[in-house]
Amino acid sequence: MEVIRKNAQSCEGAFLTDYAQDCAAFSWSQARTWMDGLPEGNGLNIAHEAVDRHATGPAAERTAIRWLGRDEGVSRELSYRDLAALSARFANMLDRLGVRAGEGVFVLCGRIPELYVAVLGALKTRCVVTPLFSAFGPEPIATRISIGAGRVLVTTTTLYRRKVAPVRAQLPSLEHVLVVRDDDLDELPEGTTELAPLLAAAADTYPIAPTAPSDPALLHFTSGTTGKPKGALHVHEAIVAHHATARFALDLRPGDRFWCTADPGWVTGTSYGILAPLSIGATLIVDEADFDAERWYDILAREAVEVWYTAPTAVRMMMKGGTAGARARNYPALRFIASVGEPLNPQAVRWGLDAFGLPIHDNWWQTETGGIMIANFAAMDIRPGSMGRPLPGIEAAIVRRRADGGVDPVATADTEGELALRVGWPSMFRTYLHEEERYRKCFSDDWYLSGDLARQDADGYFWFVGRADDVIKSAGHLIGPFEVESALMEHAAVAEAGVIGKPDDVVGEVVKAFVALKPGFAPDEALRRELLGFARKKLGPAVAPKEIDFQPSLPKTRSGKIMRRLLNARELGLPEGDTSTLEAL
């Protein structure tokens, strides 16, 4: 088996150098002691742990956020002290507006400093915060604000005019729309108030009211890869897990310059793009602009990023251009690269080594788990294609559901089943908002059932097989799309691959692959035959695709995940599984 070995240099100062012993020694009560707690025993509040505790200590002048504007040369730095003061102003302003604990505050902005101020300020007032992805259209915005009964929306004048004004009438709960001006018009849109003067008029200190660890804090929507997005509710205690998992799985240390490329509109962009790194006292690099490979290489080099957390979809886009762009710069500061959101093909792990001299560390979690659950750690050898091993405090298992609704852990190594987690970690979601029944169905016998299929090898590494809904049943075999996609990705011509089961009268389903090619390759019959043969050699005839369709690019969620359900719908000639789902994302 292919293994990327870690040496003493790559493990220096890293956590979990003795995985078994460190896991045995760890407990969540120990991780709770890493938190500061509100003054005078007033409980636990995410914003205090992320900002205020640093702002009153030796890290007060450290840069909390280094913001890079879309335009060349535009940047802004906020120290921990600045961020504490600005979020205090935001919290005081919410109090003055009469917004109360437990009410919904939505933030619909590009990655601008106000977004971070609003999220942290609203957490101080114990409101329930939801950052929304700014590329959403009006309908997905309205759906989410309705589900969360948003009372406050922070947005920009441009986004409001384009995306919120058309649906405002559908949002009776929405009382205050606070806008950041980003256009040249004198008039504010009707029904909005400008944020800046309200902040300027508010006091810059804010004593956080007593907060229970179980008080609701964040409402995150899932990516909508398998169906309609669900609203997962998280509590203040989640910060205990954010903090501990960022140390363990991202090797994050105080003062690190850390870049999480996920937008705060997704759970990764909030948990690890804002809260976890701030709680550790790192410096966030925030880039307002969208993905651009050359720009990203520049940022990694110029900003001396030390820890970089990104996603397979971005890695695949960089891989399209080979390694030349990455290798044209130097990254002496870069220490650790991690990825989440979709399976990371072994080819991508190797590409990291070629491009940056560092492997990419895959990790696995979900909106529902609130934090990283399974990871390739800095001090651990990597088996490319594996998601890694469970974090300290996390018990993961492969289980089979019984007919009576219970589950049985699978004792034999390398056996496929559903990936389950023993309940009880602090960042576990507390419900799907307004979908209590669906929430309950995720649990059985003390296990949270993830809906993903995986297997665990004899050394405890977990291997992703596919989502339960995506697994292909062909001539008595169960085939995980990830394995087939990874094999295709090994071919020099392939940029992206999505694999589904196409209904077949004889064998149930046949394996069908959709492939997007790298620049310079023509989608012709010769290449199709070559790819079919290539895959057959790697996978054997039972698992290899029987059909390959070339596509310019594959359908994806807004967060960049390949949507096999849309490929399926296309194959079946359905109206794209209702295309409205794409827009609803």
**Contacting positions for ligand ATP (CB under 6 A):** 222-227, 229-230, 340-344, 362-364, 366-367, 387, 450, 452, 464, 467, 561
| Distance of alpha carbon 467 from alpha carbon 480, whole angstroms | 8
Long-range contacts: 313-318, Cβ < 8 Å, 24+?
313/341, 313/342, 313/556, 313/559, 313/560, 313/561, 313/562, 314/261, 314/560, 315/339, 315/344, 315/348, 315/351, 315/352, 315/360, 316/348, 316/495, 316/496, 317/291, 317/293, 318/293, 318/351, 318/355
229 binds, among ligand ATP, Mg ion, none (CB under 5 to 8 A by kind): ligand ATP
Per CB under 5 A, the segment of 215-223, 310-318, 480-488, 538-546 that binds Mg ion is: 215-223
Nearest to ligand ATP of 226, 270 (CB atom):
226
Tokens describing residue 108: 């619909």
Smallest gap from Cβ 57 to Mg ion, in A, equals: 38
Which of 545, 581, 548, 575 lies closest to 563, judged by CA? 581
Per CB under 5 A, the segment of 214-222, 346-354, 452-460, 478-486 that binds Mg ion is: 214-222
Smallest gap from Cβ 312 to ligand ATP, in A, equals: 8
Helix (H) or strand (E) holding 183: none
# residues near Mg ion by CB under 5 A: 1
Nearest to Mg ion of 100, 228 (CB atom):
228
Smallest gap from Cβ 230 to Mg ion, in A, equals: 8
343 binds, among Mg ion, ligand ATP, none (CB under 5 to 8 A by kind): ligand ATP
Number of neighbours of residue 457 by Cβ within 10 angstroms: 13
Smallest gap from Cβ 238 to Mg ion, in A, equals: 17
Per CB under 5 A, the segment of 18-26, 161-169, 216-224, 494-502 that binds Mg ion is: 216-224
| Distance of alpha carbon 173 from alpha carbon 148, whole angstroms | 9
Report in angstroms the alpha-carbon separations of 1 from 274, 383, 502: 37, 8, 31
Phi and psi torsions of 540, nearest 5°: 85, 155
456 binds, among Mg ion, ligand ATP, none (CB under 5 to 8 A by kind): none
561 binds, among Mg ion, ligand ATP, none (CB under 5 to 8 A by kind): ligand ATP
Helix orientation angle between 312-320 and 293-302, rounded to the nearest 10 degrees: 110
Nearest to ligand ATP of 104, 231 (CB atom):
231
236 binds, among ligand ATP, Mg ion, none (CB under 5 to 8 A by kind): none
Smallest gap from Cβ 289 to ligand ATP, in A, equals: 23
| Distance of alpha carbon 297 from alpha carbon 578, whole angstroms | 38
Nearest to Mg ion of 22, 469 (CB atom):
469
387 binds, among ligand ATP, Mg ion, none (CB under 5 to 8 A by kind): ligand ATP
Bridge partners (DSSP) listed for residue 374: 364, 390
Smallest gap from Cβ 223 to Mg ion, in A, equals: 7
- Cβ neighbors of 452 (< 8 A, separation 6 or more) are 364, 366, 418, 419, 464, 465, 466, 467, 468
Smallest gap from Cβ 252 to ligand ATP, in A, equals: 18
Smallest gap from Cβ 506 to ligand ATP, in A, equals: 30
Smallest gap from Cβ 92 to ligand ATP, in A, equals: 34
Q: Where are the beta strands (DSSP E) in 340-401?
A: 360-364, 374-375, 386-390, 396-401
384 binds, among Mg ion, ligand ATP, none (CB under 5 to 8 A by kind): none
Phi and psi torsions of 177, nearest 5°: -115, 115
Smallest gap from Cβ 525 to ligand ATP, in A, equals: 33
Helix (H) or strand (E) holding 79: strand 75-79
Residue sitting closest to Mg ion (CB): 222
Which of 372, 373, 371, 377 lies closest to 390, judged by CA? 373
Smallest gap from Cβ 210 to ligand ATP, in A, equals: 31
| Distance of alpha carbon 514 from alpha carbon 318, whole angstroms | 20
Per CB under 5 A, the segment of 44-52, 222-230, 308-316, 318-326 that binds Mg ion is: 222-230
| Distance of alpha carbon 493 from alpha carbon 319, whole angstroms | 11
Nearest to ligand ATP of 206, 482 (CB atom):
482
340 binds, among Mg ion, ligand ATP, none (CB under 5 to 8 A by kind): ligand ATP
145 binds, among ligand ATP, Mg ion, none (CB under 5 to 8 A by kind): none
Q: Find how far residue 63's CA is from the centre of its chain.
A: 24
| Distance of alpha carbon 307 from alpha carbon 276, whole angstroms | 13
256 binds, among ligand ATP, Mg ion, none (CB under 5 to 8 A by kind): none
278 binds, among Mg ion, ligand ATP, none (CB under 5 to 8 A by kind): none
Chain residues binding Mg ion by CB under 5 A are 222
